[in-house]
Amino acid sequence: MLSKNKEMIKRVRYLFSGVVQGVGFRPFIYRLAVKNSLRGFVQNRPDGVLAEVEGSEAAIDSFLASVRRELPPLADVTNISSEEIPREPDDNFRIIASDTCGDGDVHISPDIAICQDCLKELFDPQDRRYQYPFINCTNCGPRLTIIKSIPYDRINTSMACFPLCAQCQTEYENPANRRFHAEPNACPVCGPKIQLLDEVGKTLRTDDPIKTAIGLLKEGKVLAIKGLGGFHLSVDAGNDEAVKRLRSRKYREEKPMAIMVMNLENVKCLADVNEEEEKLLTSPQRPIVLLKKKNSSTISEQVAPGVPNLGVMLPYTPPHYLLLEKDFAALVMTSANQVDEPICISNREAIIRLKGIADYFLIHNRDILVRCDDSIAMIAAGKEQLLRRSRGFVPKPILLKDSFPDVLALGAHLKATQCIVKGNFAFLSPHIGDLETPQARDFFQESLTLMKKITESNPDVIACDAHPAYYSTKVAEEMTGVRVIRIQHHHAHIVSCMAENQIDGDVIGLAMDGTGFGLDGHAWGCEFLIANETEFKRLGHLQYFVLPGGEKAIHEPWRIAASLLALAYGQSWSEIAAQLGIIPAGMDSKVLDKIIANKINSPLTSGLGRLFDGVAAIIGVRKTVSFEGQAAMELEGESDHEAAEPFPFAITPNADNCLILDISSTIRAIVNDLLAGKSKKEISSSFHRTLAVAFVAMCEQIREKTGINRVCLSGGCFQNKILLEGSIKQLESAGFAVFHHKQVPTNDGGIALGQAVIAGAIAKK
Ligand code: ZN
Ligand code: ZN
Ligand code: FE
């Protein structure tokens, strides 16, 4: 009976949704259908890939099992719906033209590094695409960054202006070919071309622009190189003078710059690489991976001065491979922009905006339509953690536990990103950056348009930060006909962590960052909350201290050191400060004393990032900084993982029964150790350990009060690996279930996700 049923002929319609377009999904379906002798068709639709298959039930079962088992590497199927439908008189299986009606539920694929098959062709002198810089296939190449509109068909990309030659057209139409419907398919005959321009944009006559570019890099020149999601500025990382020149032209004194290295073996000469890091480096997303720098390195110290880590990526486009093939230990590959401006994408824009920085431009005529910086990741607590989620990852959605009404979240102010929630998917935008300049704000608007287009959504619930002065907040306020929901910064951090870990309900949230607008008007940043998707309560925080001179204190951590010493020693702080040489010459400590005591232009903060700055200044790691987080990074660099003795601290409830983490005894202990001649390393290690121990003590008191045992860690301070790993370890051994970020940045780049989920949950209510 059963076997007879299995032979019965029927027709089933499947709809596959998720990342199913631009990833070779239709030829994949075609091959499996033909293999199982099924008739019917497959087609791209705005809401996914539709397949109708007709044949015996057994054949259809076997077809579906293979689909599930053998998915193409880049496909990510989030749902398969099916229904049995009346039979049709097909006599074969076909791939038919895209259907443009239906509700949008297709996910655009992120850009993907060149695959092994294409790489082989790139270096094969017999291949017709030998050394062709735009080689790609259904498994690799540009995606999001060439999209004009959806569905993802060549006509809707920046490849539309390159008609396929006969040979490419044949590949494109042949379901058995690995370039079947590879939308960016191209060859030297029909595809885009590379050009080399001088500093004013005049074309250089050369038969081989890449070879000439290599020569110029060798000479120490600064090249602007057009990549996948924008331009890089590049110099030979082994050339000290060249690196210095790039730094001074870019007004980037000390902030670390990323490097690109040909292969893993070469990376291992420059940095320590463990197995997980190796996987991350070679993944098709090819992020910049933060690795522990080796001393015996052959690259300029100027690439990442003072900090313990090196940001390294492997090549991900054909030109990268051609540039790096021989000769270079590493190339500096830093985003091509001026300070606080977004990455350049068009040839014209690059020539104008990089004037005075780049000596030459290695450009091409395939337009980049979406700005997408390199992503940055590290391995922490044995897991991948993204610190900047952009190229290679965007616009792949984060899967949420629940569905929500459509929401647009506008993020924070620094490391800005946006997020659109649609159903149970959260789509985060590419990294936009700090919203300080008109150019960054234009990019913010550009990104807004993009996000609405690719999600086919125009939400009327808008989430933004509670900070009244943020640009993103102002954008929300200027929108009409929408409901604006303002969300406290640290609440958003915690819910962001909950969302990506797919948990809901009450948690203890540890939000640790530099600064965020607090509900009492002070700058919060070391917060112990109980939170869920709609509400939070502040149950504890680091004791407030003054930031002498406000904004100035962020660039001059010695000011924070003075403030912390005043907290720890009262009146006599200035003697200690003098003894430790903290106050720079020309600054009168009596004036500073007045500023601190009377809080003149000096806001109160509980920011952990600021505490790091202050401690770094006290122990002499760094008294002034040239970029945010520099002091903390270097303090982390001084520390090691060895279990150091923690310093004392105290926890006392204030009048509102909020637990105050009192660090005056910590500061005194640090000073005592310093005066006793202990090393920076010992003190920094103890300081890190103190924080982890204090976090546990605070959480234990909160657990006692509330019975909550789950802890979510979020905020920029958890980019500090020693702090993150130490906190997880201590909390877990105290019996807490600990959650932290992996796919979504723990810094303000992840805020938009938390905002979107909170607003969605509120709107749902
Ligand atoms: Zn390929
Ligand atoms: Zn061609
Ligand atoms: Fe933050």
Q: What is the DSSP string of 422-490?
A: EEEEEEEPPP-B-TTSHHHHHHHHHHHHHHHHHHT---SEEEEES-TT-HHHHHHHH-SSSEEEEE-HH
Query: In this predicted structure, what is the pLDDT of residue 2?
Result: 45
Interval between CA 213 and ligand 1 midpoint (Å): 25
The DSSP secondary-structure symbol of 735 reads: T
Interval between CA 211 and ligand 2 midpoint (Å): 23
Interval between CA 750 and ligand 3 midpoint (Å): 9
Interval between CA 146 and ligand 2 midpoint (Å): 18
Interval between CA 119 and ligand 1 midpoint (Å): 7
Task: Extract the tokens encoding 486.
Answer: 């303002």
Interval between CA 464 and ligand 3 midpoint (Å): 13
Q: Which ligand is nearest to the CA of 186?
A: 2
Interval between CA 279 and ligand 3 midpoint (Å): 29
Q: How do beta strands 507-517 and 259-260 pair?
A: unpaired
Within 13 Å, how many C-alpha atoms sit on residue 212's CB side? 16
* 669 SS3 class: helix
Helix (H) or strand (E) holding 387: strand 383-388
Q: Which ligand is nearest to the CA of 516?
A: 3
* DSSP-assigned beta bridge partners for residue 292: 272, 309
Interval between CA 714 and ligand 3 midpoint (Å): 8
Whose tokens are 């689909």? That residue is 67
Task: Write the pLDDT tens digit of every residue in 525-568.
Answer: 999 999 999 999 999 999 999 999 998 999 999 999 999 999 99
Interval between CA 347 and ligand 2 midpoint (Å): 23
Interval between CA 220 and ligand 1 midpoint (Å): 32
Query: In this predicted structure, what is the pLDDT of residue 195?
Result: 97
SS3 string of 337-374?
Answer: CCCCCCCCCCHHHHHHHCCCCCCEEEEECCCCCCCCCC
Interval between CA 96 and ligand 3 midpoint (Å): 48
Interval between CA 685 and ligand 2 midpoint (Å): 59
* DSSP-assigned beta bridge partners for residue 332: 235, 259
Interval between CA 190 and ligand 2 midpoint (Å): 4
Interval between CA 717 and ligand 3 midpoint (Å): 9
Interval between CA 176 and ligand 3 midpoint (Å): 50
Query: In this predicted structure, what is the pLDDT of residue 3?
Result: 54
Task: Extract the tokens encoding 394.
Answer: 């965007």
Interval between CA 75 and ligand 1 midpoint (Å): 14
Q: Which ligand is nearest to the CA of 119?
A: 1
Beta-sheet strands, E only, within 158-283: 194-197, 223-226, 231-236, 259-260, 271-272
Amino acid identity at 442: D
Q: Which residues of the chain have pLDDT under 70?
A: 1-4, 100-106, 296, 641-642
Interval between CA 290 and ligand 2 midpoint (Å): 39
The DSSP secondary-structure symbol of 648 reads: P
Interval between CA 315 and ligand 1 midpoint (Å): 14
Task: Write the pLDDT tens digit of every residue in 435-444.
Answer: 999 999 999 9
* DSSP-assigned beta bridge partners for residue 39: 54
Whose tokens are 């993982």? That residue is 641
Interval between CA 173 and ligand 2 midpoint (Å): 13
Interval between CA 113 and ligand 1 midpoint (Å): 8
Task: Write the pLDDT tens digit of every residue in 607-644.
Answer: 999 999 999 999 998 888 888 888 888 999 888 766 78
Q: Which ligand is nearest to the CA of 169?
A: 2
Report the alpha-carbon distance of residue 762 to residue 468 in Å, rounded. 21
Query: In this predicted structure, what is the pLDDT of residue 586?
Result: 86
Q: Which ligand is nearest to the CA of 135?
A: 1
Q: Tell me the domains of the chain and their CATH numbers.
A: 2-95 (3.30.70.100), 108-191 (3.90.870.30), 194-364 (3.90.870.40), 541-694 (3.30.420.40)
Q: Please name which of 183, 132, 133, 179 lies closest in space to residue 159, comparing C-alpha atoms.
A: 183
Interval between CA 186 and ligand 2 midpoint (Å): 5
Interval between CA 27 and ligand 1 midpoint (Å): 15
Query: In this predicted structure, what is the pLDDT of residue 4?
Result: 59
Q: Please name which of 314, 319, 333 lies closest in space to residue 363, comparing C-alpha atoms.
A: 319
Contact (Cβ atoms closer than 8 angstroms) between residue 607 and residue 523: yes
Beta-sheet strands, E only, within 4-68: 9-21, 39-45, 48-56
Interval between CA 725 and ligand 3 midpoint (Å): 19
φ and ψ at residue 365, rounded to 5 degrees: -105, 25
